[in-house]
Amino acid sequence: MEHKTGLEDYYVIKNQKKMRFGYTTGSCAAAACKGAVTMLLGGQRLSQVDLMTPKGILLHLLLEDIKIEENAVSCAVRKDAGDDPDTTNGILVYARAEKMTGPLSAKIVIDGGIGVGRVTKAGLSQKIGEAAINPVPKAMILREAEEALDKYDYEGGLKIVISVPEGVEIAKKTFNPRLGIQGGISILGTSGIVEPMSEKALIESIRVEMKQHVSQGEEYLLITPGNYGAEYLREHMSLPFEKNIKCSNYVGETIDMAIDMGVKGILFVSHIGKFVKVAAGIMNTHSHNADARMEVLASNAIRAGAGLSCAKSILECNTTDEALEILSLEGLLKETMQEITNRIQFYLNHRSYEQILLGAVIFSNVQGYLGQTPDAAKLIDKLSVNRR
């Protein structure tokens, strides 16, 4: 009989498909902690535990790889991310509960073992040197340990160590090294539940990285949507590459978060394929959200003096590089990019209500530098001063 986790009736519909919910590494750690502490203090072997998540969903999670020692018990819970693309899906999250005697600084000590990262930079929820176990998962782990202490009237202390053996390798595919979290993954989750294809999780990762930069005194931020922007920045601009933050498709949310944190300015360095959409006021540049690349290029080419046949040729293009080649042959590339960068500046300012200084440098992989918005020079100067 197939094991039921309690999530069988939870899903969202995306692109006419049912997408299953899953549960976080935080839920895995808390459930493993509950299992380990209950077996340690209760003396009975368990095969599963029930865990109430902050979202209000009760999970029924199996315990694996149980090891019982004289004064310690360890066990693991396997992560199920549902239908969310997640590098941690299927991994085992372990908790080891050990009895402590003698003078105690705290009745329950929670720490990270192998595969759980250590914080090496300021600006995160944890202090430098602490395990990267986020506040909500830590509170969940603590709650389960405290309830077991009360249930079994145990007067001594407990040390809970969370570990993820596969976390060392998985962490290399995450934001953690950029955030200064070394040696493993973070134990995450604010609701205990993973919702499929969660934009919230991506935006939250940007927010966390931005907060860290701001906490280190950075008033002007260097933002690239993705790898193309980062590579162009590294190879063609004399700006502090190590300070760049990737915003993916979330231009608008990035501006909003920066304003909320008191940032003074942002310079975006972007491939034309992403930022040409911003010239039409599109602040989420994912192709599923909107694609007006050729329409924006064609209309601005007309503003720059292009004829109808040129505009039609641009509209028939599949890539921005094809369209740029047409503009170059027509002798209108510079003028068209001037129109586009002016409109990018307008919509960036419109999003921010001109509360902060915003600008963008635009390039293509074929044509190279294409132009920059009117306020970009000021931001380049600010970021260059900060580097010196």
Please check the confidence at residue 17 and state whether its pLDDT lies above 90. no
Separation between Cα atoms, residue 359 and residue 255, nearest integer Å: 11
In sequence order, the 6+-apart residues with CB closer than 8 A to the CB of 17 are none
Q: What pLDDT score was predicted for residue 197?
A: 67
In sequence order, the 6+-apart residues with CB closer than 8 A to the CB of 223 are 244, 245, 246, 247, 254, 266, 267, 268, 269
Q: Percentage of the chain with pLDDT > 90?
A: 80
Mean pLDDT of 5-18: 82
Mean pLDDT score of the chain: 93
**In the 8-state DSSP scheme, what is residue 145?**
H
How confident is residue 16, by pLDDT bands cut at 50, 70 and 90?
confident
Q: What pLDDT score was predicted for residue 76?
A: 98
Contact 357, 378 (CB under 8 A): yes
Mean pLDDT of 313-318: 91
Structure tokens at 345: 């500046």
Q: Percentage of the chain with pLDDT > 70?
A: 98
pLDDT tens digits for range 355-381: 999 999 999 989 999 999 999 999 999
Q: What pLDDT score was predicted for residue 196?
A: 83
Determine which helix (DSSP H) or strand (DSSP E) holds 293, and give its type and residue range: helix 293-303
Q: Which of 222, 216, 226 is nearest to 249 (CA)?
A: 226
pLDDT tens digits for range 115-166: 999 999 877 889 999 999 999 999 999 999 999 999 999 988 999 999 999 9
pLDDT tens digits for range 37-77: 999 999 999 999 999 999 999 999 999 999 999 899 999 99
Neighbours of 112 (CB within 10 A): 26
Q: What pLDDT score was predicted for residue 386?
A: 60
Contact 36, 95 (CB under 8 A): yes
Q: What pLDDT score was predicted for residue 104?
A: 67
Mean pLDDT of 280-286: 95
Separation between Cα atoms, residue 121 and residue 55, nearest integer Å: 30
Higher pLDDT, 194 or 387: 194
pLDDT tens digits for range 188-215: 998 999 988 667 778 888 999 999 999 9
Q: What pLDDT score was predicted for residue 240?
A: 92
End-to-end alpha carbon distance in the chain? 65
Cα-Cα-Cα-Cα dihedral of 176, 182, 187, 191, to 10°?
-30
